[in-house]
Amino acid sequence: MEQTGISLRASLRGSWVVTVGCLFCLYQFMIQAAPGFLVQPLMTELSLNRAQVGVLASALLYSYVLLQIPAGWLIDRYGVKTMFLASLGCMVAGVVLMAQAHSLEMAVFGRLLQGPGSASAVVGALCLAAAWFPAPLFPVFVGLVEMSGMLGGAVCGALIPELADSHDWRFAMVVCASMGGVLWGMMLLISNRPACKQAVVVPGETSSNGDMKRVFGSLQVWLSATYGFGLFGLVSVFGMMWGASFLECLYPDSRTFAANSMTLMFVGVAFGTVLSGWVVARGGVCRKWMIWGAGLSLMLLLTIIFLPVASALMALLLLLLGVALGTYGLAFVAPESSLPKSGLATAIAFINTCLLVAGQLLQPLLGQILDMRAATAQLTINDYQIAFMPLLVLGVMALLASLVLKEGQCNA
């Protein structure tokens, strides 16, 4: 009886801890996506062109990418809770600074401060899940953590435009900073591991040079990273940055359709991450779902970009695209069975870094292409179709990577 009681308390405590980790992922993704819903206000008030807005949006990703792997090492050394508190504090400071910005340079500096805060969110949340729950549930928690991030995009699409319209974009940033303060207080109540465990049972705890070589010498890790690079690149570039303005150009008569439809896409991604993780955890073949996700994503993207459809059908296509893109979370699951636990955190950090590089490269690139295409301030659908060609390359890369993976390599 007592043993059961302890187990129940640990399970409830673990649920709270992982929930806080998931909320951090939701929050950091909301902050990442915010500029995509503030393109016009930022261009107007800070006197920016589209390429500069792309640079501003991707500035967070520069510091995020540079600090992702070091963040994984620091989590191993100092624990998730300590890194969460430090990271979120840095992120909130960056949001406040951006809210006060009156120049591109100051706004970019604020975004750069937000990057270190983002760096520990996903890796830390997955380490908490691994510490508090049995290993067979890891694919499910990968889905839940990634779902939380996608819901951050959905919350951003619902909240940020509304706040910007009713007040202004600076007020929207202040509200985001306040939300971060509440989350920081919640983080004070979490623990790195159950009290009954004498050591932090997280991947990467005893990482060695041999483990590092095994991680970076693994073809499976590189293929998984390429898969995540392609599919999450579509989420980052289309969903977080240029998709909303494309829909505004495609459906100019509805001011709210673009934001609502992109919110629907993020809801689809959130559902897709959990669905694919749940299926793999129940014995599904990871590679099969990766191929399905990449192939369907590519077909739906082609339809959305090049085929004129009614707004209701477009909303459905975006929802389905989100579900298919949600399989990007399997990039974290695929290497899990072939690596030692001491190398898994490094692999997660590396794959997560690759997920973000596409946005870092293509968000400003697409902005530059759109600026070059625009003879006036008004862009056409054809301009967006040409600018979106690199997105199709991302879809093809993900599909090829999933086809090269061997089936036995990515069973969770």
pTM for this prediction: 0.74
Q: Which of 31-45, 194-208, 304-318 has the highest mean pLDDT?
A: 304-318
Q: What is the mean pLDDT of residues 230-247?
A: 87
379: tokens are 């862009």
Summarize pLDDT for 156-167 with one digit per residue, the tens: 877 888 888 788
Torsion of CA 393, 398, 403, 407, to 10 degrees: 180
Contacts with 365 (C-beta within 8 Å, 6 or more apart), sequence order:
54, 390
Using 50, 70 and 90 to split pLDDT, how confident is the model at 5? Answer: very low
Torsion of CA 321, 127, 29, 178, to 10 degrees: 150
Asked if 335 contacts 225 with a C-beta cutoff of 8 angstroms, the reply is no
Q: How far is CA 187 from CA 217, 326, 366, 394, in A?
A: 36, 27, 37, 36
Q: How far is CA 310 from CA 95, 184, 269, 275, 298, in A?
A: 37, 43, 22, 28, 20
Using 50, 70 and 90 to split pLDDT, how confident is the model at 182? Answer: very high
Residue 236 scores a pLDDT above 90: no
Domain boundaries, the chain: 2-189+206-410
d(CA 292, CA 389): 21
Contacts with 98 (C-beta within 8 Å, 6 or more apart), sequence order:
106, 107, 110, 111, 114, 173
Q: What is the mean pLDDT of residues 197-214?
A: 50
381: tokens are 């659908």
- The count of residues in the chain is 412
Rg (CA), the chain: 20
Residue 381 scores a pLDDT above 80: yes
Q: For residue 354, which of 24, 77, 69, 139 has the smallest C-alpha distance? A: 69
Residue 61 scores a pLDDT above 90: no
Residue 398 scores a pLDDT above 90: yes
Asked if 394 contacts 263 with a C-beta cutoff of 8 angstroms, the reply is no
Average pLDDT, the chain: 80
Summarize pLDDT for 318-366 with one digit per residue, the tens: 999 999 999 998 888 766 555 555 556 677 778 888 887 877 788 778 8
CATH architecture of 2-189+206-410: Up-down Bundle (1.20)
Report the percentage of the chain scoring pLDDT > 70.
86
Using 50, 70 and 90 to split pLDDT, how confident is the model at 13? Answer: confident
